[in-house]
Structure 1
């Protein structure tokens, strides 16, 4: 996942009760510097506040000491303080910052980027369609039959002023999105490693709509995706693999998902 260039820090951070308590400790300045370095590293990694290297190696005190250019004893002391105050949490040996995505709103940033990419793709497609249909008349008497069936509905509505149909289609699209979200949440609930939810949902929608893999369009149903995720979970549990070594959810929902779709389940 690409790094982000900013993290959110409130202006009253030094009025926070935990920071005030830290400032009363010996080597408080070093501890606070390490906290900010930890926040910056979490933003650079953009891994939902989980400190792992290549999804398989967890950051140790020694590794953080090297990265932060601080003594290992100081880093260990700082981490113990953070853990005691609930600022970090160790899960299966990995250091995590609880609710990182919620507090940093990185999901919203990712959504915005995804929306911009999709918007530009659709915009360029509309331009191509308009250019291809340049011989169509666009006066107030335009008729549906005068337009080819593949012309974007929005263009037709713009010509005819059929705002009611635009509104109805918008409601239908919103309802469809709500259903997709509900179906996705059912799948997300059975996967224990909660990393990469926003990108995973985007990939889920692509599978439902149909994705091109090696030149072939592959479309999966909600049930097929659910079973594929379930197969992966069962495989990891049979092998008694520690959760830290499982694929992040967005990684599993990528092309590797096809490895766990049973033969005959894929619909092209």
Structure 2
């Protein structure tokens, strides 16, 4: 889940001409199913994790949770999820995480991220030039510099919207070392995750766009492996969806575990105790 908040999502003007939507409209409780679909799209935008919908990286939404969130009967939510999955509108993986199919494509996330990045760089360069011009004056101009910053910040969103509408941006061709990152995780945790997994690549790409690099991924893997690998309760969370999710920066700033004593099959430390209490609270074994 990205730290950037999403305030809107894209909906196609021709969506009601889509065959899947038309089929849903012919079903019992069609209006309710469509409302649930729109709520799921909004939730995916709110979660902002490449189309995934979850409470957090460790807790996927259950049918009961969604029924509560969407304020709809449980049986109707079950029918909606079954229908959306059958029509290929969502995917539900083996860990019960829900993903809206082709979310990035329909929301043009790659183009938007590149436009934001390009515009920020251009605005930053322009801001620096203006500051230098003002600082070269032989007058007190702190207020002028502040006004320039405010004006340029306001222009940032305007430039993004303008470029996005004109379609002038191109895809970011920056190479991301998916295989090297996942191979390092497998080596440190004795696992066999595939670097070609779309879910894993989406998570790595999201963190990469936030400015993190290969060494940051390796540091997070090292830190969490030191804390969890010998803990029978937590070792199962040494996986991409947990390590590379929205808590990535928080994990990066943690300290490696000090291996002292034992705790349910692993070393005792504050992080393990906190994680164990979290697991006991939500009773993951029954999920």
TM-score band, normalised by the shorter chain?
0.5 to 0.7
Asked whether 1:197 is paired with 2:205, we answer: yes
| Pairs within 5 Å for 1:199-218 | 199-204=207-212
Matching residue of 1:93: 96
Conserved 8 A contact 2:53-2:97: yes
Q: Deviation digits for residues 33-65 of structure 1, max 9, x if unmatched?
A: 211111122122222111112322211111111
1:122, distance to aligned residue in structure 2 (A): 2.9
Secondary structure, aligned partner of 1:4: coil
Conserved 8 A contact 1:65-1:75: yes
Matching residue of 2:273: none
Conserved 8 A contact 2:44-2:53: yes
Q: Deviation digits for residues 177-223 of structure 1, max 9, x if unmatched?
A: 96xx225455566566332624523413xx6xxxxxxxxxxxxxx5x
Matching residue of 2:73: 71
Matching residue of 2:164: none
TM-score (norm 2): 0.57
Conserved 8 A contact 2:223-2:251: no
Aligned residues: 200
| Pairs within 5 Å for 1:1-268 | 1-91=3-93, 92-133=95-136, 181-187=174-180, 190=183, 193=200, 194-195=202-203, 197-204=205-212, 224-225=215-216, 227-228=218-219, 231=222, 239-241=235-237, 243=239, 246-249=242-245, 251-252=247-248, 254=249, 256-257=251-252
Matching residue of 1:174: none
Distance 1:88 1:99, change over 3 A: same
Q: CA RMSD in A?
A: 3.4
Secondary structure, aligned partner of 2:92: strand
Conserved 8 A contact 2:36-2:70: yes
Secondary structure, aligned partner of 1:51: strand
Distance 1:116 1:251 in 2: 27
Conserved 8 A contact 2:92-2:99: yes
In structure 2, the gaps of 5 or more residues are: 139-171, 184-194, 257-287
Distance 1:86 1:243, change over 3 A: farther
The structure showing larger relative contact order (alpha-carbon pairs under 8 Å, at least 6 residues apart) is 1
Distance 1:109 1:53 in 2: 25
Conserved 8 A contact 1:94-1:244: no
Indicate the larger mover: 21-30 or 64-73.
Answer: 21-30
Conserved 8 A contact 2:6-2:46: yes
Larger Rg: 1
Secondary structure, aligned partner of 1:86: coil
